[in-house]
Structure 1
Amino acid sequence: MKLSLICVGKIKEKYLNMGIDEYKKRLGRYCSLEIIELADEKTPDNAPAAVEEAIKRTEGARILKAIKEDSYCIVLDIKGNMLSSEELAGYMEKLFIRGKSHISFVIGGSLGLSDEVLERADFRLSFSKMTFPHQLMRMILLEQIYRAFRIMNNEPYHK
């Protein structure tokens, strides 16, 4: 099983890097994990909608290049489907049973994802109706993926 985490922007906070490194280490026994960091575009203060859309398209083009053709693509989208931890584990397990050996999770930049990336997505996942910093979301997503593997393997942790 191979997982790719495709993210716009770099992690700047030491505490987030430490948490991400811990979950990368833990996930090593369950899957091959690749984290792909893509450059983010600077958004001017009070940018008009057209400028924001252009930025999302530029970042989106980078994301689309990073998604492997044979990969099942799950994007984080506030308008996506909300799943419990158990439901995410079940969803991932069904993908693996159906022969999907490579899953790409996509976290967009601060403006969100372009329409082109949303169209490429095989599934849209929402963690909440709230907005989270995309850097923090990376660690939260890795923790939930780790939790999903623990659930799939009937191992204690998730409660």
Structure 2
Amino acid sequence: MKITICCVGKIKEKFYTQAIDEYSKRLSRYCNLKIVEVADEKTVENASDALNEQIKKKEGQRLLSNIKDDSYVIILAIEGKMLDSVELSQKIDSLGLSGKSDITFVIGGSLGLSKEVYDRADYKLSFSKMTFPHQLMRVVLLEQIYRSFRIMKNEPYHK
């Protein structure tokens, strides 16, 4: 299975990079993992809604240009469906069993995702109604994907 994490912005803090590297290494046993970072746009405080939409659109175009046509796209969105770890593992497993061996998870920038990215999504996943920094969300997502594979393989993992 091929898993791509397509996200806006670069990781700046070393502790996030270390965690991402660790989970990437662990996941290499289970899937072909690729992390694609697209440039984020500079955001202006108190910007107009029109400017914010323009920023999301630019970031969205960059994200979409890195998503393969045949990839199953799961966007991270507050209003998406909340799953527990077992349900996420079942979702990933069922996609593989149905022939969808290329899954792309998308994490937006500080303003969220554009309408065009929402329209491309096959599934909307929520981790919480709270907003998280995209750098932290990348670590959390990788950990949950790793946990999903451990669950699928009936391998022990702490609860």
Q: TM-score scaled by structure 2? A: 0.99
> What is the match of residue 94 of structure 1?
94
Matching residue's letter, 1:98: S
Q: C-alpha separation between the residues in 1 aligned to 2:26 and 2:17? A: 14
TM-aligned CA distance change 1:98 to 1:158, over 3 Å: farther
1:158 positional shift: 4.4
Q: Deviations over 1:1-44 (max 9, x none)?
A: 10000010000000000000000000000000000000000011
Question: 2:117 — aligned with what?
Answer: 117
Contact 1:74–1:104 (CA<8 Å) still a contact in 2? yes
SS of equivalent to 1:137: helix
CA distance in 1, matches of 2:66, 2:108: 12
Render the CA deviation track for 1:96-139: whole Å, top value 9, x for unaligned.
00011100000000000001100100000000000000110000
- Partners in 1 of 2:4 and 2:40 — Cα distance? 18
Task: Provide the C-alpha distance between the structure 2 equivalents of 1:158 and 1:55, rounded to a whole number of angstroms.
Answer: 40
Spell out, residue by residue over 1:42-61, the C-alpha distance to the aligned partner (whole angstroms, 9 max, x if none).
01111011100000000001
Cα distance in 2 for partners of 1:122, 1:3 equals 15
Q: Name structure 1 gaps, 5 residues minimum.
A: none
The answer on whether the counterparts of 1:110 and 1:134 sit within 8 Å (CA) in structure 2 is yes
| Unaligned 5+ runs, structure 2 | none
How far apart, CA to CA, are the structure 1 residues paired with 2:158 and 2:115? 34
Q: Secondary structure in 2 aligned to 1:81?
A: strand
Q: Secondary structure at the match of 1:68?
A: coil
> Equivalent residue for 1:69?
69
What is the one-letter code of the residue matched to 2:8?
A: V
Residues paired across the two proteins, number: 159
Tell me the equivalent position of 1:20.
20
- Looking at structure 1, the residues matched to 135 and 22 of structure 2 have their Cα atoms a distance apart, in angstroms, of 15
Provide the alpha-carbon RMSD of the alignment: 0.5
* Percent of residue pairs bearing the same amino acid type: 65
Q: Which amino acid is 2:130 matched to? A: M
